[in-house]
A and B are shown apart, each in its own frame.
Chain A
Amino acid sequence: MSDPLEASDDALLATRAAGGSREAFRRLYQRHRVEVYRYLTRWLGSESLAEDALQEVFLQVYRSLGRYDRARPFRGWLYGVVRNVAQNARRKQRKVAPPGCEGHDSGLFPTLARRERAADLQAAFTGLPEETRALLLQRYRLELTLDELAEAWGCTNRTIRNRLHAANDRLVQAIVAQRAGGTA
């Protein structure tokens, strides 16, 4: 007999977890932990920080489950929490990081490191504002839908469209500028 929790959607699991089911919460955690952890590692640039942040994220999710509206996408809501936790961790990281660590995004392009244009792309992407990078990662790497993004960023669908458009343009311009600067 199949496990009814296994096939349940996130919203149902979240509702049951809000009702006190630790098992439902564990399922939610297992479902999202790797993706969130990878995202946090990219954002914070450190696995140890990402591990702490992962714990903090799900702790906050657990505390806030009561405020979760089942009608809205759980993944978007989750990444809203992730965003807040990551920003706080980043702020703390800045306070303790030695000068020069800011903006260093080591391992951002592991597969591109050997490629000729890796430097251009890396510099262009790293040069974008933090939130723009986060939005692009969520959209293109985590493949969050517009609704999920709107939920995560606490804004309307239209605003997310505009932000994505602006972020794409910024990235393209940054790459173009990087290449132009490199060849001038």
Chain B
Amino acid sequence: MNCTEYREHASAPEPAAQEAADAHRADCHACASWSQTLEDAMSAIDLPDVEPAPGDWERLSAALDAADAPTPPVHVRLQCSYCHDTLVGGTPEAAYCASCLAPHHADCFRQNAGCATPACPGVSTVTPQRQVTDVAASRGKAQKPRGEPGPSRVLPLLLTALLGGLGAAAWVALRGVEVQVQDAVVQQGFDASCGRLIQGDYRAAQEGFRRLLDEEPEAVLRAEITALDRVARVLRDCEEEPLGCDWDGALDALTRAQERASIPRVRRWLEQRQDWAIAAQGSLHLLERGYAAGAASVAAAEAREFEQALLLQREARELLTQVQGPLAATAQAQIVETWIPVLKASVAMIQRFMGPKTKPPHWGRAEDMIVSLLPLALEDKEREELIGYLEICRNNMEDETLYAQAVQIAQRRSANDYPKALALLRRIRTSSVIYPDARAYLDWIAADQLVRAAVEAFDGGRGEEALRLLREAGDEHDAALGEAARKSVDEKVVLISQVLSRWQRAKNLGTRAEALKPLEEVIALLEDRPENEYRIMAQLMFDRIGSSLGKNAETYLEEGLRQLEAAFGDGFNAPHAAEGAMAAFERVLEDPGHKRDQIVRIKSAVSQREGDTRFLYRAEKLRKANRTDTYGDLLPRLKLLKTWLPPGKQQSQASELYRQIAEGSSWVPPEFRRPEK
């Protein structure tokens, strides 16, 4: 079962096909959706829960009393004497035996080679040229029976008379006269109704024909009017709903009416309408298939199965554009009717692909959809809109390619390649979705260039310029810098500021020893940048100052050695010399330019003096003798020895002795006492 058959079945279910229909519905999403929508709609349609007002029967009953009683139908029909089938009088197929006037089909008479009435010798026929007026009509409306079913008793008698002598006389006597309407008024009404029919005003034509039928015209005219009335009704239905029209029936009605038509222009018009109906009949299956494909296309579009929707739409177009004749307009309307929802749904999806909610936008998918839709566009406006979307997609895709190339180049972090990346980024349109990213990348590259220039300036000894460039990068391109980049810039600013402040302090101190510390800090800060101008200059200055300070150490060393000689010579009479030596040696140590051998010389000289004088032995004896009066002289020398003797037994003895004398002496001057805890 296909979709068309399924939907026909759904409209008028047949138990035998129910299983196949259920299977189709389970497989076909479009038909399932169609059925569901229909079921929802029909379950929602309801009749109002109202009842006629009480007493309605009484009112009707009163109206019935005043109305005509039901009129039993009178069916008068002729039968062929040969085949006993129905025979329509007054038509070319009706022939009457020239001997006995028995009705025959003309073919039957020929086939029988004469009259079929037993014992009738007739071998020729006569045909009526003027129809006898219907008996009822001849009696006039005023004579119609009222209340009682009288006509049912009268008419058989009249029929007998009709088929009897009166009829025979009438049929034969009116030979050679054209069929015409007896009553001039009826004729006029008939002409007018035919005119309306030809003009396509079927409703008015029908009303006219029915009024004429109420006038009870003669049988031939009545048959013609009935046939034309049927034509009017059928054509009206067919033009209103070509899809629901019974075209076979329409063609049959047109053919029968054309056979009976007495007016030439009506006959011609009926012939044209026959051609029209034949064309419609031929196109009907195309229209139905196109209609089904179109409906399925809409359902698929609603279900967002766009590929399927467009496939079905193309199929519907193919079928519907083949429809010719009276259904062509319907087919065209059908094309538009099914195209609009598909287009709307497709454009909505395209906009979604392109829109801000889709990240990143699916330009390629949108482009594919547009390219598929474009050939189906019906109007220039639709085409222009789709082309507009297509341009947006293609521009964005091109710009995204430029962006990707630029990023690839920039990520090499080669300053020489930056101009290429910048050139690509500058080609990106401001209207592109990627433009803000491109703009950010431009800023980032500019910031990176500034940072690079700042580092170069700093390494070249232009610290102030470096700081200015870094601040510019931070201020003007802050948004473009990532967190890591921003941290890196901040660190560089701090480093350069620290270097500059120390460098400035060292410069202010000139060649003084105090300048060595800031210079040393500059060197430490720039430890990993050996080529930095500040580091090189700081190292240079540090060395120069250190070299000059080294000469002072030598001077203090000489002074110290002289004082040492005095402190341990001449019977230890110069205790203050020990303090002088101690101070001189400390100045040597404080001199950044002192050398290792100078320290070695001091220690060697102190050790030599101890060896020569055996001062520790003497001091030990005096302590044991508790010669506290000598402690004031001993302590400065012991301090010198414990400080400057090389590590060993003597240095330990000096330290211990110094401690014992310093602790044991209540009179020890404060500067020799151990600090209180």
Q: Nearest residue in B to A183 (C-beta to C-beta)?
A: B348
With A65-B70, A166-B244 as known contacts, state yes or no: A22 contacts B38, CB within 8 Å.
no
Q: Are A26 and B11 neighbours in the complex by a CB distance under 8 Å?
A: no
Q: B245 is contacted by which of A41, A162, A168 (Cβ under 8 Å)?
A: A162
Q: Is the interface of A mostly helix, strand, loop or mixed?
A: helix
The tally of CB-CB contacts under 8 A between chains A and B is 175
Q: Is the interface of B mostly helix, strand, loop or mixed?
A: helix
Residues of chain B with a CB closer than 8 A to A108's CB: 45
With A17-B70, A107-B48 as known contacts, state yes or no: A29 contacts B246, CB within 8 Å.
no
| Segment from A5-13, A56-64, A75-83, A96-104 that makes contact with B | A56-64
Residues of chain B with a CB closer than 8 A to A162's CB: 243-246
Q: Are B57 and A29 neighbours in the complex by a CB distance under 8 Å?
A: yes
Q: Are B52 and A20 neighbours in the complex by a CB distance under 8 Å?
A: no
Q: Are B241 and A163 neighbours in the complex by a CB distance under 8 Å?
A: yes
Q: Are B67 and A159 neighbours in the complex by a CB distance under 8 Å?
A: no
Q: Are A166 and B241 neighbours in the complex by a CB distance under 8 Å?
A: yes
| Segment from B264-272, B339-347, B634-642 that makes contact with A | B339-347
B577 → A minimal CB distance (Å):
109
Residues of chain B with a CB closer than 8 A to A67's CB: 71, 73
Q: Nearest residue in B to A64 (C-beta to C-beta)?
A: B70
Q: How far is the CA of A162 from the CA of B245 in the complex (A)?
A: 7
Residues of chain A with a CB closer than 8 A to B291's CB: 169
B338 → A minimal CB distance (Å):
8
Q: How far is the CA of A183 from the CA of B348 in the complex (A)?
A: 10
B142 → A minimal CB distance (Å):
18
Residues of chain A with a CB closer than 8 A to B338's CB: 173
Q: Are A109 and B67 neighbours in the complex by a CB distance under 8 Å?
A: no
Q: Are A54 and B52 neighbours in the complex by a CB distance under 8 Å?
A: yes
Q: Are A18 and B72 neighbours in the complex by a CB distance under 8 Å?
A: yes
Q: B240 is contacted by which of A112, A131, A142 (Cβ under 8 Å)?
A: A131
B283 → A minimal CB distance (Å):
14
Q: How far is the CA of A141 from the CA of B298 in the complex (A)?
A: 27
In the complex, per-residue mask of A140-164: 1 if CB is within 8 Å of any chain B CB, else 0: 1110001000000011101111111
Q: Are B244 and A159 neighbours in the complex by a CB distance under 8 Å?
A: yes
10 A-B pairs within 8 Å (CB atoms) are namely A29-B60, A34-B52, A55-B60, A63-B70, A67-B71, A110-B48, A131-B240, A159-B237, A159-B246, A171-B42
A interface residues, Cβ below 8 angstroms from B? 17-20, 22, 25-26, 29-30, 33-34, 37-39, 41-42, 47, 50-51, 54-55, 58-59, 62-67, 107-112, 115, 117-118, 121, 124-125, 129, 131-132, 136-137, 140-142, 146, 154-156, 158-169, 171-173, 175-177, 180, 183-184
Q: A22-B61, A169-B291, A172-B295 are in contact. List 9 more A-B contacts (CB 8 A).
A: A29-B57, A38-B48, A63-B70, A108-B45, A131-B240, A162-B244, A164-B11, A165-B7, A166-B244
